[in-house]
Amino acid sequence: MTNQDIQLDICGDHSEIAVIRLTRPAKRNALNDALVIAIRNIFDTLPASVRAAVITGDGDHFCAGLDLSELKERDAGQGLHHSRMWHAALERVQYGPVPVIAALHGAVVGGGLELASACHIRVADESTFYALPEGSRGIFVGGGGSVRIPKLIGVARMTDMMLTGRVYNAVDGERIGLAQYLVPADEAFSKAFELAQRIAQNAPLTNYALMHALPRIAEQPADQGFFTEAMMAAIAQSAPEAKERVQAFLDGRAAKVQKS
């Protein structure tokens, strides 16, 4: 099913990078129901060649969050299912087939921040600002924000953002952990793409472990975490690709770690 508000391009010499672009700039890439479902469908059906994805937005803003024009009278049950629809879509972003890098600029607000926080890496340019205006709209986060955002910045900062309408600029956003990278204006996409190319060269099993095992281990009590880590480490190192990569280093054929 096509949706003119989102575009998928498969790039790279080996079709290894998926670029997902929100193309609704007139509405600041606000996410209506169809767009949320389209995001889920894209991650459900990425070509097998894809090893990493970049998500970006057309126009001056990454994403203005939930399309407020669709916020009609819902009873409790309908509201529950609407939120669960967002959860299902963003779950496919976080726990989908490949690491996802969000290239951020302009407004990253409400559901836009929930989408960004489901990604594995956030690259923000200087124009980026972050807010959770749900508080002032009389609603609550419903796209997984209360689970994911405190993991990035802590409960206290998220509470402040929602209670007071506090807006973080790009510099402070990177400082508190909303983004891992801060780049000059208009450079978020190129940096995100460069990172995607780097990630695409990793052993797929290592990327899988980072996406699927690491966040679960981090939630486990230490004793269970150590055990899960050992299982994942054993599986990863038994892969032929791991053995080949280690041998390449021992033979002097692989890059050393360089001081930054």
Segment 52 to 91, residues that bind ligand 1HE, using CB under 6 A? 60-61, 64-69, 86
73 is annotated as an active-site residue:
no
Size of the site for ligand 1HE (CB under 6 A): 23
Instruction: Identify which range of 22-30, 153-161, 168-176, 251-259 contacts ligand 1HE by CB under 6 A.
Output: 22-30
Query: Is the Cβ of residue 10 or residue 139 nearer to ligand 1HE in the bound state?
Result: 139
Residue 90 token pair:
């963003």
What is the smallest separation between the CB atom of 27 and ligand 1HE, expressed in angstroms?
A: 4
Residue pair 30/67 in contact by the 8 Å Cβ criterion: yes
For residue 17, CA distances in Å to 28, 112, 154, 182 come to 25, 22, 32, 22
Establish if 134 lies at the interface with ligand 1HE (CB under 6 A): yes
Contact between 135 and ligand 1HE per CB under 6 A: no
Q: Catalytic residue at 219?
A: no
| Residue 216: its H or E element | helix 214-219
Q: How far is CA 101 from CA 55, 197, 232, 254, in A?
A: 6, 11, 23, 25
Contact status: 97 vs ligand 1HE (CB under 6 A): no
- Give the E-state strand segments of 23-71 in sequence order: 52-57
Q: What is the DSSP letter of 70?
A: G
Is residue 168 involved in binding ligand 1HE (CB under 6 A)?
no
Q: How far is CA 123 from CA 129, 180, 207, 244, in A?
A: 12, 6, 18, 32
Of residues 18 and 89, the one with the C-beta less far from ligand 1HE: 89
If phi > 0 it is left, if psi is from -120 to 50 it is alpha, else beta; for residue 21 that is: beta
Please report whether residue 173 would count as binding ligand 1HE according to CB under 6 A: no
How far apart are CB 68 and ligand 1HE at their closest, in Å?
A: 4
Given the rule CB under 6 A, which residues bind ligand 1HE? 27-28, 30, 60-61, 64-69, 86, 107, 109-111, 133-134, 137, 139, 141-143
